[in-house]
């Protein structure tokens, strides 16, 4: 009888995306009220790292993404976040205030090797998305509405590239030939940074109304959440230069 191997299979690293701060990390991970997200906490190169692991449909499977920030405050057991009437993030050891949604923080004794490989920059995005420049912010928000449901919506990624301010989202088109999902990165560019963290949109008989707001308030509107990142591998990969 063949002896079963006891060697552990190598875990492929995710794609690492560094967000600007803990507020942007919470805005990314805590948009749903029906699921409590998990946050990873560990030290890497003597820096405390707080991150969230998720995945999106991408070409021939799913693409794991580790979004993270460098923590500069004492660690607690939970991250509490609110975005209605005001936006706030708090690190706390209790989860009993129903004004907030909560995410549990799990501290690891050592750096997770597969995440450490992602943070080192050795894992580059090999299969690039298709880049499509949208004609306007309105078009981008219409696409975001199509991809959203009552529980969740994709983030709008904000980043700077070659002196321009870009806002974009990943849209998966499922069952594209033999691919699980064709990933398309729709984006708009501007000369200025978005002035607030949410895009508010409504379509009326008189036309579309769109504006930037600091938090969610009037629920008759649709809201898109903007996540500030320090770089965007879906767009800034060196092999993508010929597509732009």
pLDDT in tens, 158-192: 999 999 999 999 999 999 999 999 999 999 999 99
Name the domain count of the chain: 2
Q: Looking at the structure, tell me whether residues 112 and 37 fall in a common domain.
A: yes
Q: Is residue 52 one of the residues assigned to a domain?
A: yes
105 and 164 both lie in a single domain: no
Does 6 map to a domain?
Answer: no
Domain final residue, candidates 119, 154, 183: 119
157 and 197 co-located in one domain: yes
Q: Please give the Cα distance from 64 to 128 (Å, whole number).
A: 14
Kindly state whether residue 191 falls inside one of the protein's structural domains: yes
Looking at 65, 88, 119, which one is the last position of a domain? 119
The residue range of the domain holding 189 is: 130-243
Residues 93 and 141 grouped into a single domain: no
Binning pLDDT at 50, 70 and 90, where does residue 235 land?
confident
110 and 142 fall within a common domain: no
Predicted confidence at residue 8, as pLDDT, reads 59
Both 138 and 86 in one domain: the answer is no
Q: Do both 94 and 146 map to the same domain?
A: no
Residue 69 lies in a domain: yes
**Residues 114, 179: one domain?**
no
**Where is the domain boundary, 55, 88, 119?**
119
Q: What is the pLDDT of residues 54-106, one digit of tens each?
A: 999 999 999 999 999 999 888 899 999 999 999 999 999 999 999 999 999 99
> Hey, which residues does 57 pair with through a beta bridge?
62
Quick one: 115 and 134 in the same domain? no
User: Is 114 inside a domain boundary?
Assistant: yes
Flag whether 98 is in a domain: yes
């Amino acid at each position: 009888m063949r002896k079963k191997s006891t060697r552990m299979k190598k875990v492929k690293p995710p794609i690492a995306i560094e967000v600007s701060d803990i507020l942007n990390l919470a805005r990314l991970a805590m948009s749903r009220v029906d699921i409590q997200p998990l946050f990873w906490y560990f030290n890497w190169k003597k820096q405390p790292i707080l991150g969230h692991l998720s995945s999106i449909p991408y070409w021939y499977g799913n693409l794991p993404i580790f979004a993270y920030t460098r923590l500069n405050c004492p660690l607690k057991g939970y991250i509490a976040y609110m975005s209605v009437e005001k936006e706030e993030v708090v690190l706390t050891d209790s989860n009993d205030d129903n004004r907030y949604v909560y995410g549990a923080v799990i501290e690891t004794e050592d750096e997770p090797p597969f995440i450490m490989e992602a943070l080192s920059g050795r894992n580059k995005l090999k299969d690039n998305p298709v880049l499509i420049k949208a004609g306007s912010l309105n078009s981008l928000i219409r696409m975001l509405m199509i991809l959203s449901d009552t529980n969740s919506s994709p983030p709008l990624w904000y980043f700077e590239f070659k002196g321009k301010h870009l806002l974009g989202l990943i849209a998966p088109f499922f069952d594209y030939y033999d691919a699980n999902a064709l990933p398309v990165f729709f984006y708009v560019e501007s000369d200025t940074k978005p002035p607030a963290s949410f895009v508010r949109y409504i379509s009326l008989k008189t036309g579309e109304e769109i504006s930037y707001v600091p938090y969610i308030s009037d629920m008759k509107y649709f809201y898109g959440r903007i996540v500030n990142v320090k770089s965007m591998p879906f767009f800034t990969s060196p092999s993508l230069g010929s597509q732009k």
